[in-house]
């Protein structure tokens, strides 16, 4: 197999696999905020992109406001990953546009960067002084 330029082939069965992984990650967060089955059902019914006047959107955002900053961030990352999956840009590194290895995607389905670029980003965060 020759993988030439960028453009990861996250399609077909793989796309389905990651769709499920992201959905599972989202459900996990939902389960953390929901205190009743009804609340959980509302969160599960709610889809990002529903019109704001949609009743599930309203209830869901009230429930999701219970999330801590870290979990909120996690959910945002899942949203973003699901959007990338829908737009077929999932699995491409946002730094170098290279393909993110599948094993990395499986370990961290919401990741935006390959390992190299991730290190870069982390280092950038550490040493913003001078440049």
Q: Judged by CB, which is closer to Zn ion: 46, or 84?
A: 84
Listed ranges 10-18, 22-30, 73-81, 106-114: which one lies at the site for Zn ion (CB under 5 A): 106-114
Measured on CA atoms in the order 61, 83, 13, 101, is the torsion positive or negative?
A: negative
DSSP H helices in 34-112: 37-45, 55-64, 69-86, 102-107
Kindly state whether residue 96 participates in binding Zn ion, applying the rule CB under 5 A: yes
Please pick, from the candidates 78, 93, 99, 105, the single residue that binds Zn ion as defined by CB under 5 A. 93
Kindly state whether residue 105 participates in binding Zn ion, applying the rule CB under 5 A: no
CB contact set of 20 (below 8 Å; sequence gap of 6+): none
Q: Quick check: 90 and 7 in contact, CB under 8 A?
A: no
Kindly state whether residue 95 participates in binding Zn ion, applying the rule CB under 5 A: yes
Catalog residues that contact Zn ion under the rule CB under 5 A. 93, 95-96, 114, 117
């Amino acid at each position: 197999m020759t993988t030439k330029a960028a453009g990861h082939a996250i399609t077909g069965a793989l796309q389905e696999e990651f769709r499920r992984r992201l959905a599972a990650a989202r459900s996990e967060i939902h389960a953390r905020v929901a205190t009743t089955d009804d609340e959980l059902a509302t969160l599960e019914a709610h889809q990002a992109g529903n019109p704001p006047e949609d009743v599930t959107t309203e209830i869901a955002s009230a429930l999701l406001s219970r999330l801590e900053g870290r979990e909120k961030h996690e959910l945002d990352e899942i949203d973003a990953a699901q959007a990338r999956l829908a737009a077929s840009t999932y699995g491409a590194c946002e730094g170098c546009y290279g393909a993110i290895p599948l094993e990395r995607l499986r370990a961290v389905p919401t990741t935006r960067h390959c390992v190299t670029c991730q290190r870069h980003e982390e280092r950038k965060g550490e040493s913003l002084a001078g440049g």
